[in-house]
Structures are given as structure tokens and as C-alpha cells.
Amino acid sequence: YIIAKIGNIHTFSLNLAVSSFRLLLYAVTTNPWLFIPIHLLHGVAFGVFVANMVSYANYLAPKGSQATLQSMTLASYTI
């Protein structure tokens, strides 16, 4: 839904902003219990990023090689 609504490039930018904000919160947090809600941002941001990465690979792939490029993209990211 997010990718369809704002597009691939803007989703990558939004993910970068959310990840940067999360790391900034990690840097300034002194109470260990506050790391739990901050870490929930990682789950959402990572899920959207992986889905967006595979979707963008599908967009860039030549006709007939979409599945191959998607699997190569996902495999190269998880290694």
C-alpha cells in the first residue's frame, strides 16, 4: 500500500529518514526500557524496505527476467 501510494523512490527516502531517526533516538536514549518501542520502528522500516527493494527490482528488470532479478536482489541483500 505504501509503495503504491508514494512510489519507490520516495519510499526509499522515507526509509532512510526513519532509519536515521531511529539511530538518533538510540544515541540519545538513556533508559534501557525505551529501546523496546524504538526498536519497533526497525520492524516496520525493514519490512517496507525489503518489499520496496524487490518491487523496484521487478520494475527495473527486462521482461521475462523479473523473478530472477528479484531473487538475486533479495539473496544479495540477505548475505
CA 51 to chain centre: 7
**Residues 1-53: tens digit of each pLDDT:** 888 888 888 999 999 999 999 999 999 999 989 899 888 888 888 888 888 88
Cα–Cα nearest to 53, from 21, 24, 18, 15: 15
Task: Kindly report the three-state secondary structure assignment for every residue of the chain.
Answer: CHHHHHCHHHHHHHHHHHHHHHHHHHHHCCCHHHHHHHHHHHHHHHHHHHHHHHHHHHHHCCCCCHHHHHHHHHHHHHC
Cα–Cα nearest to 49, from 13, 4, 5: 13
The structure's pTM equals 0.76
**Residues 42-60: tens digit of each pLDDT:** 888 888 888 888 888 888 8
